[in-house]
Amino acid sequence: MSARAVVTGLGVAAPNGLGTEEYWKATLRGESGIGPLTRFDASTYPARLAGEVTGFHAPDHIPGRLLPQTDHMTRLALVAADFSLADAGADPEKLPEYGMSVVTANSYGGFEFGQRELEKLWSQGGSHVSAYQSFAWFYAVNTGQISIRHGMRGPSGVLVTEQAGGIDATGHARRHIRKGTPFVLTGGVDGALSPWGWTAYLSVGELSTREDPRRAYLPFDADASGWVPGEGGAVLTVEDEEFARERGAGRPYGEIAGYASGVDPRPDSGRPPVLRRVIEQALADAGLGPRDIDVVFADAAGVPEPDRIEAEAVTAVFGERGVPVTAPKTLVGRLAAGGSALDTATALLALRDGVIPPTAHVTDPAPGCAGLDLVLGAPREARLRTALVLARGTGGFTAALVVRALDGPWPRSA
């Protein structure tokens, strides 16, 4: 009973591209989505750069009745789900209602929406709070709205593990497929680009305060100065391989071959971070060794200490410069749960096209990260069959995912 979980559709809403191919082309061309904040006046804050999804006009994509009840990031999630279903060539009306699940990851809920309602509460009183507040801000909102929009009644849920969420959700989607639910929308879309959300980001104390979008987020670089928040993410359509074949799906991007997760011990425990062990477990779960992995998509914190920890773990498993490592999120910023979902989509696109997108803007790897074979400057063409995607969230949540291209021909119809 080990059904293969294959990815048949990708839907991307990213700061450097709305739409999967738009994002992928921009990423290969090195087009950055990081720039000065435009959503609100950030002039009083010490950090003023973000990855914003630009050119997104919600009424072009979302039914009018949903606009008053949805936060910006939920609208992006609904659009990414639409893109993903279209890419998978799947019409939910023709699929079994209990056979379709939605498992998304989220970190913030709808906090821009929430800020407006908190403002009404505190300045005008409780009776001015919107009837939609009860669900528009909460963490389960994207899964709920996607399931309603597409009539998906299978086992569904929401995982919160900060940056690791996109991977944990995808791992959980595979679990549903193995238990018999053949069609799962997963991944994550996140973002909290309002002054209230920005205040929370600032409280971490890790945001880069630089003004130059090309020098603000430089993971593994000797000049690393912190990270830049972004919004968006990706929704993946994951299916049981036989189900996808029978419904006449196009060739899948790849399969979810391995997954593992863990959480770091207390900082004062004297115990090591769990990343190395989680990588090894994900490889074992995929039945692969380090030599079978063709590229690693790094978490890429952009902060010297976690960068060094990640570099050490990757080097310990793969050896010095033993595998190409990249962080195309340098073009979009860190998207919380959306980030590892987007990295997973990016890894699958890399497998499809045989090209590794580079780590943008990084030029001078830090001494502690010298063991990494970082893909810098330009895309690197390579024969790619398997990719490892890593994420480490605030609080020590750590996840690793192995995706693998499918062998052999794929019939369009049985």
Partner 1 sequence: MAVTQAGTHTSAHRRRVVITGIGVIAPGGLGTKAFWSTLTAGRTATRAITHFDASTFRSRIAGEADFDPAAEGLGPQELRRMDRAAQFAVVAAREALTDSGLEDTGRAPHRTGVAIGSAVGATISLDREYAVVSDSGATWTVDHRYAMPHLYDWFVPSSLAREVAWVAGAEGPSAVVSAGCTSGIDSVGHATELIREGSADVMITGATDAPISPITVACFDAIKATTPRNDDPEHASRPFDRTRNGFVLGEGCAMFVLEELEHARARGAHVYAEIAGFAGRCNAYHMTGLRPEGREMAEAIRVALDEARIPPERIDYINAHGSGTKQNDRHETAAFKHSLGAHAYATPVSSIKSMIGHSLGAVGSIEIAASALAMEHGVVPPTANLHEADPECDLDYVPLVAREHRTDTVLTVGSGFGGFQSAMVLTRPDRRAA
Which residue number, 167 or 348, has a Cβ lying nearer to partner 1? Answer: 167
| Minimal distance, residue 272 CB to partner 1, in Å | 10
Report whether 18 contacts 31 (CB < 8 A): no
Which residue number, 56 or 196, has a Cβ lying nearer to partner 1? Answer: 196
The DSSP output letter for 174 is H
CB-facing half-sphere around the CA of 89: CA atoms within 13 A: 12
| Minimal distance, residue 85 CB to partner 1, in Å | 14
| Minimal distance, residue 164 CB to partner 1, in Å | 8
Those residues whose C-beta lies under 8 Å from the C-beta of residue 60, and which sit 6 or more positions away, are none
Give the DSSP H/E element, type plus range, for residue 101: strand 100-105
| Minimal distance, residue 47 CB to partner 1, in Å | 10
**Which stretches of 183-310 are assigned E, i.e. beta strand?**
183-190, 232-240, 254-263, 295-297
Binding test (CB under 8 A) with partner 1, winner from 5, 37, 159, 236: 159
Instruction: Report CA dihedral (253, 12, 296, 30) to the nearest 10 degrees.
Output: 120
Phi-psi label, residue 179: left if phi above 0, alpha if psi -120 to 50, beta otherwise: alpha
Which residue number, 35 or 144, has a Cβ lying nearer to partner 1? Answer: 144
Report whether 71 contacts 141 (CB < 8 A): yes
End-to-end C-alpha distance for the chain, whole angstroms:
22
Which residue number, 279 or 349, has a Cβ lying nearer to partner 1? Answer: 279
340 in contact with partner 1 (CB under 8 A): no
Token representation of residue 212: 């130059």
CA distance 309 to 306: 5
Measure CA 223 to chain center.
25
Q: Specify burial of residue 121 (Cβ count, 10 A radius: 0-12, 13-18, 19+).
A: middle
> Of 44-52, 300-308, 310-318, 322-330, which part binds partner 1 (CB under 8 A)?
44-52
Which residue number, 229 or 358, has a Cβ lying nearer to partner 1? Answer: 229
CA distance 275 to 400: 8
Which residue number, 153 or 352, has a Cβ lying nearer to partner 1? Answer: 153
| Minimal distance, residue 95 CB to partner 1, in Å | 12
> Of 57-65, 253-261, 292-300, 322-330, which part binds partner 1 (CB under 8 A)?
253-261
Report whether 383 contacts 64 (CB < 8 A): no
How many chain residues are in contact with partner 1, going by CB under 8 A? 97
Per-residue x/- mask for partner 1, residues 268 to 307, rule CB under 8 A? -x-x--x--x---xx-xx----------------------
Which residue number, 26 or 159, has a Cβ lying nearer to partner 1? Answer: 159
- Residues in 354-393 at the binding interface with partner 1, rule: CB under 8 A: 393
CB atoms within 10 A of CB 413: 8
Binding test (CB under 8 A) with partner 1, winner from 78, 88, 141, 369: 141
| Minimal distance, residue 108 CB to partner 1, in Å | 6
Token representation of residue 272: 């090591």
- Residues in 318-337 at the binding interface with partner 1, rule: CB under 8 A: 336
Which residue number, 264 or 312, has a Cβ lying nearer to partner 1? Answer: 264
CA distance 230 to 333: 5
157 in contact with partner 1 (CB under 8 A): yes
Which residue number, 279 or 325, has a Cβ lying nearer to partner 1? Answer: 279
308 in contact with partner 1 (CB under 8 A): no
Binding test (CB under 8 A) with partner 1, winner from 20, 27, 32, 145: 145
Those residues whose C-beta lies under 8 Å from the C-beta of residue 6, and which sit 6 or more positions away, are 238, 239, 240, 241, 244, 252, 253, 254, 255, 256, 406
- Residues in 53-112 at the binding interface with partner 1, rule: CB under 8 A: 69, 97-98, 102, 106-108, 111
Which residue number, 46 or 63, has a Cβ lying nearer to partner 1? Answer: 46
| Minimal distance, residue 19 CB to partner 1, in Å | 26
- Residues in 175-234 at the binding interface with partner 1, rule: CB under 8 A: 175, 178, 192, 195-205
> Of 132-140, 215-223, 326-334, 347-355, which part binds partner 1 (CB under 8 A)?
132-140
